[in-house]
Chain A
Amino acid sequence: MASEERSSWVMVVVATTAYVIYLSLVLSGGAALPLAPADYGWQVLWTILGAIVVAVLAEIGLAIVDGVRGDKTGRRDERDRRIHQLGEYTGQAFIVIGALAALILAILEADAFWIANAVYLAFVLSAVLGSITKIALYRGGLPTW
């Protein structure tokens, strides 16, 4: 498995897990929505930072394992770069959708809870769907057009 494909799997698992943990933390209290900033703000920040730290540590760990094995899967070539670009384009589309959703919610004077959650969901969708796109391209091949 190419390193970029492996990184994509790591991102899918880590981003999804972090978001599920966030939802369970926020919704487990049974309090009525929207929550006050004190009841979800730290959970948002900690799950985002936690996901970043876990993803980085996982990458470092896998790179060390490759190095010990003498495996060269960490090398990236033109195909990896093209797949990375296409995956990033897909991911960025969800960042834009999330920003638009947040903008509309702000115009409608929605509670900050909903705006923050729209942005967080966009981050998660961007990471997960961008990574799934990369995995699909590794498995199915790059499109020709």
Chain B
Amino acid sequence: MVKPTRVTNSIRTLRFLAGEMTQAELAEKVGVTRQTIIAIEQSKYSPSLEVAFQIAASLGVRLDEAFTYPAIGEKA
């Protein structure tokens, strides 16, 4: 069983707030595949820092608004 990532994200909500941007549109802006956006939204994949910044920028928010990580010692 693959251990899920502790990084959580609000990409789905932020896409909706960004004019109901589709996963394909976000993927095109960021330069990744739609499958990767789906995997990130489902917490099956933690993107690199660079892609995380690009996603946040494409959605018009700060990195910590798009992605969150529990504090040390705190459970996800």
The main secondary structure of chain B at its interface with chain A is loop
Say yes or no: B32 contacts A145, CB within 8 Å. no
The main secondary structure of chain A at its interface with chain B is loop
Give per-residue flags for A108-145: 1 if the beta carbon is below 8 A from chain B beta carbons, else 0: 00000000000000000000000000000010111111
Say yes or no: B2 contacts A140, CB within 8 Å. yes
Interface residues of B, count at CB 8 A: 19
Given contacts A78-B48, A78-B51, contact A141 B31 (CB under 8 A): no
B15 is an interface residue with CB less than 8 A from chain A = no
Say yes or no: A79 contacts B45, CB within 8 Å. yes
Say yes or no: B33 contacts A141, CB within 8 Å. no
Say yes or no: A141 contacts B36, CB within 8 Å. no
Bound-state Cα–Cα, A3 to B46, Å: 20
Residue from A1, A72, A76, A141 within 8 A of B45 (CB atoms): A141
Say yes or no: B39 contacts A77, CB within 8 Å. no
Bound-state Cα–Cα, A77 to B30, Å: 10
B12 is an interface residue with CB less than 8 A from chain A = no
Chain B nearest CB, measured from A38 CB (Å): 48
Give chain A's interface residues, CB within 8 Å of chain B: 1-2, 72-73, 75-80, 138, 140-145
- What are 7 of the A-B contact pairs (CB < 8 Å)? A1-B35, A77-B32, A140-B2, A141-B42, A142-B46, A143-B2, A143-B3
